[in-house]
Amino acid sequence: MEPNLILERLKMQDKKAFQQVFETFYPPLVAYSYKFTYNQAVSEDLVQESFIYIWENSSKLKIKKSLQAYLFTMVRNRSLNYLKKINLTDSHHLIDISNFLTEDFQEKMFFEKDMGALKQKAEEILQCLPEKMQEIFKLKIMHGFSYKEIADEMGVSVNTVKTQLKRARFKIESALTILYFLFFC
């Protein structure tokens, strides 16, 4: 069904349209939320809350790009707000840039050319990092080395590796967040 038609039917509180959207997006949205919360029940609750919000506010929805991007953004924000609410910090980097770059939902969610452009931008951002930071980032994220292995390989301390990774993640995540909103919201 055409996206604009679905939005119009949702605004008129069409139960069949809502059910179709729910059945299409519920599983990938729960999986996406889980990548942030690491809690299936919480992820299901957050996605259900998002759909309740959509239903209750359907007549007031102002979706500029796509319903799909809107839903994923809403679930991401709710998941991050949940983590803030429980005062969870990402000190072990469980929620890192590798999730963003390899999400299964992205291939379904975005057109191939858009994903290609976003990945190209991510690579450009990576190339802008200092050489040593790039190398540390690639060893950790792309090759799965431990902090100790990276430190030994590069002849630096484990603390240096952690600091460089934290800085790299921050720079890349900040830039990709901006790009994400420019491309898809």
Q: List, as one string, the DSSP characters of 37-106.
A: H--HHHHHHHHHHHHHHHHHTGGG---SS-HHHHHHHHHHHHHHHHHHHTT---TT-SS-HHHHHH-HHH
Q: ∠ at Cα 146 (118, 79), nearest 5°?
A: 50
Whether 1-88 and 91-185 share one fold: the answer is no
Q: What is the pLDDT along the chain (185 residues), one digit of tens a residue?
A: 566 677 788 888 889 988 988 998 999 999 988 887 878 999 999 999 999 999 998 888 787 778 888 898 899 889 888 877 776 454 444 444 434 443 444 444 444 445 566 667 767 777 888 888 888 888 887 778 889 999 999 999 999 999 888 888 777 776 766 655 555 54
Q: Give the type of residue at 180.
A: Y
Please, what CATH class does the domain formed by 91-185 belong to? mainly alpha
Contacts with 94 (C-beta within 8 Å, 6 or more apart), sequence order: 38
In the prediction, which pLDDT does 157 show?
93
Q: Is the CATH number 1.20.1290.10 carried by domain 1-88?
A: no
Ranges of each domain in the chain: 1-88, 91-185
